[in-house]
Every structure is written in C-alpha cells, then in structure tokens.
C-alpha cells in the first residue's frame, strides 16, 4: 500500500510541475488558437500549451492506471 501511495504521489506531483512549467513557458507566445467544439469554442490558447496539456493529462492518466493495476502481491 505504501509503495502505491508513493507512486501515486510522484505521478501527481510530476504532472502538476509539468503544468506549472507549461503555463510559465507559454506566457509570451504570439500566435494563439482556439478549439472549435460542436457546442462551444475554447479560449484562445497557444498551440504548445494545448499539446503540452494533452501530453501531461495523458501522462497522469497512464500513471494512475498503472498504479491502480498493481496487484497486492507485487506491492511488497
């Protein structure tokens, strides 16, 4: 259980740091795009931020899935 908690904490902390640095790095980008959904349009954001956020959320969901898939026998 402690090993799973350590992995979960590491995964979430890494994702938060990536989002933080992504927000800092995309402050001065001139070209901005918005995503056009069927119902609504998003706020204009830099394409690097959109791609980085997608990568980060994928990293977090993959890490959470792998942590949850660890069996109790492998936990020790």
Annotated domain spans of the chain = 2-68
39-73 pLDDT tens trace: 888 788 787 788 888 888 898 899 888 888 887 76
- First CA to last CA distance, the chain: 8
Lookup: tokens for 62: 């993959």
Q: What is the pLDDT of residue 3?
A: 84
13-47 pLDDT tens trace: 998 998 888 888 777 677 777 878 888 887 887 87
Contact 31, 47 (CB under 8 A): yes
Q: What is the pLDDT of residue 35?
A: 77
Tell which wins on pLDDT, 31 or 11.
Answer: 11
Beta bridge partners of 41: 36
pTM over 0.85: no
- List, in order, residues 6 or more apart from 21 with CB less than 8 Å away: none
CA 28 – CA 48 distance, rounded (Å): 12
Q: How far, rounded to the nearest angstrom, does the alpha carbon of residue 22 sit from its chain's CA centroid?
A: 10
């Amino acid at each position: 259980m402690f090993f799973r908690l350590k992995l979960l904490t590491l995964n979430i902390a890494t994702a938060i740091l990536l989002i933080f640095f992504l927000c800092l790095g995309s402050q001065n980008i001139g070209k901005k795009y918005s995503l056009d959904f069927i119902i609504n349009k998003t706020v204009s954001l830099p394409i690097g931020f959109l791609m980085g956020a997608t990568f980060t959320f994928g990293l977090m969901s993959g890490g959470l899935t792998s942590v949850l898939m660890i069996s109790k026998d492998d936990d020790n």
